[in-house]
């Protein structure tokens, strides 16, 4: 066989391989997942599933994107993304409507609410009543303020004396070292960030003051029409995502490196320490990752209704499902 014929055969083989790969990719279900914020350790399981090929193994072609200005909820509701990340408190007003947003929570990313108030150690805010007469950086949202009021008054404090300053804090350490006394944080990120920067802090979690505030934050939501029409693909997606979070639970350092490889702009030390802290939080005492307890889900929405924070009562069991989690 001449060299020319060999080259022709080789060229034909390469073309066939290219066509085969293209066909395989074409047959994969394309899924878009929109984050709630910039990539962080809440999202690690998604990046692990992508890097480890868990999505690909189940015939899925998954793209992870950052949210537009309107947030993940609107993108998922419109069907432009099949899945996204939200929070039970943030999505409540959209469920308390005559025309609820057409999305459903399909998994709890973290089993318990890890948010609370952080302050510089020694400023008297180790419990909520210490916020009295202090400066709090508020998002100026009704549900947020009601939660603060609930925990402060439950602790015997004067909520009305808190100096509310509308502010979107991007660097907690800087804020606490300037004119802000207290900030609402998700401990796994900003709490750990303060710790590794050497700032000694006090922190209390809302769920420890009032169990009703142990709502799900964050959650993975899906587009209702997509879920209904693509039940098997939804189950495959959640199977891969669950596998990704289980990997992060059992291998926090390796999972942290996967997140960093995908997002090299992140602070390596923060990601590693946050990942270690979250390893015990993703699933906690639940039998499986992603499980949503209906009693806790309903209790929080009932509390919002009783407090007059939503326009319409959300029916029991509405807005979530465990049906698509791995058996």
Residue with tokens 């959640």: 238
CA gap 116, 152 in Å, rounded: 12
pLDDT of residue 96: 97
CA gap 308, 326 in Å, rounded: 37
pLDDT of residue 41: 98
Phi/psi of residue 102, nearest 5 degrees: -80, 60
Structural domains for the chain: 27-110+216-306 (3.40.190.10), 115-213 (3.40.190.10)
pLDDT of residue 13: 46
pLDDT of residue 22: 43
pLDDT of residue 16: 46
Averaged over successive runs of 10 residues, the pLDDT of the chain (327 residues) comes to 50 45 62 96 98 98 92 94 97 96 98 98 96 96 96 97 91 93 96 96 97 97 98 98 98 98 97 98 97 98 98 97 96
Contact between residue 39 and residue 266 where contact means Cβ atoms under 8 Å apart: yes
- DSSP per-residue string spanning 24-60: HHHHSEEEEEE-SSSS-GGGHHHHHHHHTTHHHHTTE
CA gap 226, 77 in Å, rounded: 10
Largest distance between two CA atoms of the chain: 92
pLDDT of residue 17: 43
């Amino acid at each position: 066989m001449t060299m020319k014929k060999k080259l022709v055969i080789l060229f034909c083989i390469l073309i066939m391989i290219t066509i085969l790969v293209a066909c395989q990719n074409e047959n994969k279900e394309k899924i878009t997942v929109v984050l709630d914020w910039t990539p962080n350790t809440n999202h690690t399981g998604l990046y692990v599933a992508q890097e480890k090929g868990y999505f690909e193994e189940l015939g899925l072609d998954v793209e992870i994107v950052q949210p537009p200005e309107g947030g993940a909820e609107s993108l998922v509701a419109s069907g432009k993304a099949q899945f996204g990340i939200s929070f039970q408190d943030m999505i409540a007003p959209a469920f308390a409507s005559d025309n609820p947003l057409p999305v459903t929570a399909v998994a709890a990313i973290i089993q318990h609410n890890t948010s609370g108030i952080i302050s510089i150690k020694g400023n008297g805010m180790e419990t909520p009543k210490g916020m009295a007469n202090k400066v709090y950086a508020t998002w100026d949202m009704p549900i947020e303020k009601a939660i603060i009021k609930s925990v402060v008054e439950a602790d015997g404090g004067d909520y009305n004396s808190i100096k509310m300053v509308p502010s979107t804090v991007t660097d907690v350490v800087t804020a606490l070292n300037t004119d802000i006394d207290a900030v609402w944080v998700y401990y796994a990120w900003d709490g750990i960030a303060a710790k590794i920067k050497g700032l000694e802090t006090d922190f209390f979690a809302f769920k420890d003051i009032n169990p009703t505030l142990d709502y799900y934050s964050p959650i993975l939501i899906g587009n209702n029409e997509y879920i209904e029409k693509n039940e098997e693909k939804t189950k495959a997606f959640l199977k891969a995502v669950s596998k990704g979070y289980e990997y992060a639970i059992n291998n926090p350092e390796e999972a942290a490196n996967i997140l960093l490889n995908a997002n090299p702009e992140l602070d390596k030390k923060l990601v590693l320490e946050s990942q270690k802290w979250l390893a015990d939080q993703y699933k906690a005492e639940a039998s499986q990752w992603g499980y949503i307890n209906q009693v806790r889900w309903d209790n929080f929405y009932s509390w919002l209704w009783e407090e007059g924070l939503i326009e319409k009562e959300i029916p029991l069991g509405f807005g979530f499902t465990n049906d698509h989690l791995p058996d």
